[in-house]
Homo-oligomer: A and B are copies of this chain.
Amino acid sequence: MFSKATEYALRAVIYIAQKGSPENKISIEEISGAIGSPRSFTAKILQILRKDNRIIQSVTGPQGGFYMTEQHRKLPVRAILTAMNEDHILSKCVLGLHTCNELKPCPMHASYKKIKEQLIQLFETRTIAQLAHEMDAGTAFIKFLGKKKEKRK
């Protein structure tokens, strides 16, 4: 559904929301380790999310790293998609027509419409904080355990 970049973004933000605070900033190293994403690529994504302090914040230097404020945690998950410039995926036409709407609907539109609305609703109403809390509760996980390129020694 989403690009890898956005998947990493979602996981990273949830992790930072759960573990990070102004008193306990999280390094890229820790984040990419915890969510199972490539370190440098993750750094790029965090840069995007930090831009204009949209989703996360950061400071350089020793004890530096990434963290979030309560206000940022209250953002809908959709804000992450918007920051990653993939918000349109939620409202896109399944068949790739230029616009998905009632005026020129594709043959899937009628049956897909309801699902689309639920999708948008989901990303719009669930907040980053809510997802982080699921992690706290220990009922959810966030680490990809796929084939991992082992580092040569």
Contacts and interface: CB of A to CB of B under 8 A. Distances in A.
A145 B98 contact: yes
A76 to B, nearest CB: 12
Contacts of A131: 107-108
Interface of A: 1-2, 4, 7-8, 10-11, 14, 77, 89, 92, 94-98, 104-112, 114-115, 118-119, 122, 126, 131-132, 134-135, 139-146
Given A95-B11, A96-B11, A105-B140, A89 B1 contact: yes
Determine how many copies of this chain the complex contains.
Answer: 2
Nearest to A94: B1
A143 B107 CA distance: 11
Contacts of A8: 96
